């Protein structure tokens, strides 16, 4: 799992990202799924909340939220 925040281009789509990454990554390293969030969730200490990221990913994957 990898996460990136792109605050300047909200119209970015997975097709454009994949096309750009194909020139620098081998196929097996390309993401199979994309999840777009407004911001990366953080815990009270300001660190990235991996648990919340994983939950958001799996909720999107399963098509529902808990």
CA–CA dist 66, 59 (Å, integer): 7
CB atoms within 10 A of CB 18: 14
Q: What tokens were used for 61?
A: 């994957």
Query: Which residues on neighbouring strands pair with residue 42, listed in sequence order?
Result: 48
Residues 5-47 pLDDT 10s: 666 766 777 788 888 888 999 989 888 888 888 888 999 999 9
CB 23 within 8 A of CB 16: no
CB 62 within 8 A of CB 9: no
Residue 1: band (very low, low, confident or very high) from pLDDT cuts 50, 70, 90: low
Report the predicted TM-score, pTM, of the whole model to 2 decimal places: 0.59
């Amino acid at each position: 799992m990898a996460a990136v925040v792109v605050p300047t281009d909200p119209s970015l789509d997975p097709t454009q990202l994949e096309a750009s990454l194909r020139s620098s990554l081998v196929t097996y390293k390309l993401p199979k799924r994309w999840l777009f969030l407004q911001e990366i969730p953080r815990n009270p200490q300001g660190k990235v909340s991996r648990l919340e990221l994983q939950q958001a990913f799996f909720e999107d994957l399963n098509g529902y939220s808990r």
